[in-house]
Amino acid sequence: MNSSEKSCLICDNPLYGRADKTTCSDACRVRLHRQRQNDALAEIQEDKMPLSSQRHTPLDLPWLTQGLPPARPATVQTRWEQEPENQEEAADRKRTSEVALAKEMHQHYVKVVEPFLQKEQQRLSAPQLRRMLRFSIDAYEDYKQHPHLAEEGSRAQKCQKDLRGIISLLQDTLQEAKDSWLSDTGRYELNTKWRKQLRDRLLG
């Protein structure tokens, strides 16, 4: 076939007649029409596909990202994070925290005072007294966290004073046990008023 001759777009047979002719027969013309319709439909479907499923070259990517809405945050803030806490809520939260801490500090007090009262007037060895003394000192240090210690005349201040008194008395009794070369023991005795105060404050 001469290179200047045109051929059918479907079957590649030579074309004769008009210069704008594209198919050699009605059958090829119908097939060409359907092929063009299918191609157009495929282009429309590709346009509707999400960006993530379309194929693009690296040069296309900057253009794809332009104009996109900002990404939503990964987490949603709660109402407490979005709205500032008002003064009443803050005060309630503080009171709740202080009550819990005060109860915890009272437990430290109880763990020292109860055995201290139980062992009154008993002959205690030096190792026993050392353990009681060490435990009392630890409780005294922990009790410094009590939220009401700054309140003059508060129960917390009185309990802290009790712990100091217990430490002082145990130190004296331990020294007595060390000085006793016969029994190596010591004992302590409380006055009636302090004993009653300790028992009352144990109740919280």
The pTM (predicted TM-score) of the whole model is 0.56
Report pLDDT for 80.
47
| pLDDT tens digits, one per residue of 88-107 | 888 888 899 999 999 999 99
- The residues spanned by each domain of the chain are 1-54, 97-202
Contact 173, 121 (CB under 8 A): no
| pLDDT tens digits, one per residue of 21-70 | 888 887 888 788 888 877 776 766 665 555 455 554 544 445 444 555 55
Distance CA(131)–CA(122), nearest Å, equals 15
DSSP calls for 7-36 = B-TTT--B--S-TT---SSHHHHHHHHHHH
Locate 81 and state its tokens: 């994070």
